[in-house]
Amino acid sequence: MTSASQSLKTHSDPLGYNLPLRLRARYYPMGYALDLETNSEDVRRAAGWIWGKFPQASHREDSSANPPTMRVIVAGKNATAPPVPSMPRGQNHLVSFIHGAENFAVCDLGRGFTWACLTQDVARDAAYLRYHFLEPAGYLMIDARHFRALHASCVALDGRAVVLCGDAGAGKTSLAYGCARRGWTYLSDDATHIVRESPDRIVAGRPYRIRFRESARRLFPELQAFTPELRPNGKLDIEVDTGALGIAVALECRASHIVFLNREPGPARARTCPFPRAEAEARLADPICYGDERIRAAQQRTLQHFLQLPTCELNYSGIDDAESVLRALVRDAR
């Protein structure tokens, strides 16, 4: 072979368009199809851990047509310099995840396509891979196409979902789990997704795992059986498969109430009071809308429709007392 032909063979695909990604799988985050293509079993295993339990929702067969796709290329070497975590950045329909010259991803929300290039050591670090690349890119694409995301927990009683909102430390996860221990159905611990353009205000969750702060073991003795782990964001948490907790779960439900949590430091009876709609809108607008103008407009319409639900503030100290007030709230609304 001549040097010219060798050069042509080496540089005929300099961008890697034709690199074979023979490992393929389809998942259904929140019931909607997402395709993964990769050359790494580590990547496929991590994606299965995140999304493998989600079923395809029976009324969403159309989501299998041209679903969002994630192509993850893993190099056959470790990084020459440690990856440096950074916040994603975005403009219009593009979002980037840059952790160094060798580990990065670009997400096109308009077309539902993500391309990631990673090194072997990053792909083998399942927690880092999931937290910094697979989960944010996958959920961004699904949300951009189908949902409006809320930073909120969600539980349901008698087919009515209550969305629990509040700042960090308000007790969203603990109260959601406390309700589930007393017979409610658990949907999500800190990320609830409103189905866009849904007249019935359907919300979907991530019900197959629940993440607690390490301090939750003082509230719930059964969590002593699980070991806290340091997450890639530096927080010490306990992440538990909900199947190990014996609670009822559901992928989605019709929302009936929005409740903003105000956890009080001393002993006090739980009680609800009205919460102004303008303030609710300002608080729920915190998770930014992302994507092009069309996507963000659809997300904003969905939020405005959702805000027509009864909205209140729950002032509480104890979990059981708060659950009783929430139970009465839902059942009195029949």
134-161 confidence digits (pLDDT tens): 999 999 999 999 999 999 999 999 999 9
**Whether the Cβ atoms of residue 38 and residue 60 lie closer than 8 Å to each other:** no
Domain ranges of the chain: 9-147, 151-332
Find out if CATH 3.40.30 is the number for domain 151-332: no
**Whether the Cβ atoms of residue 172 and residue 190 lie closer than 8 Å to each other:** yes
CB burial of 60-81 (b: ≥16 within 10 Å; e: otherwise) equals eeebeeebbbbbbbbbeeebee
Tell me what pLDDT residue 42 has.
98
> Which residue bears the tokens 């979002």?
95
How sure is the predictor about 57, in pLDDT bands with cuts at 50, 70 and 90? confident
244-275 confidence digits (pLDDT tens): 999 999 999 999 999 999 999 888 899 999 99
Tell me what pLDDT residue 17 has.
82
- Can you give the pTM of this predicted structure? 0.91
Tell me what pLDDT residue 7 has.
42
87-126 confidence digits (pLDDT tens): 999 999 999 999 999 999 999 999 999 999 999 999 999 9
163-176 confidence digits (pLDDT tens): 999 988 889 999 99
Residue range 290-314: average pLDDT?
93
pLDDT at 63 over 70: no
Residue range 76-97: average pLDDT?
94
Tell me what pLDDT residue 285 has.
83
- The helix/strand count (H/E) of the chain reads as 9, 20
The per-residue pLDDT of the chain, averaged, comes to 91
Tell me what pLDDT residue 3 has.
46
Tell me what pLDDT residue 267 has.
84
17-43 confidence digits (pLDDT tens): 888 899 999 999 999 999 999 999 999
How sure is the predictor about 286, in pLDDT bands with cuts at 50, 70 and 90? low
Contacting residues for 168 by C-beta, under 8 A, at least 6 apart: none
Tell me what pLDDT residue 1 has.
46
Handedness of CA 25, 29, 31, 32 (dihedral sign): negative
Tell me what pLDDT residue 6 has.
44
> Which residue bears the tokens 């907790």?
245
Tell me what pLDDT residue 287 has.
61
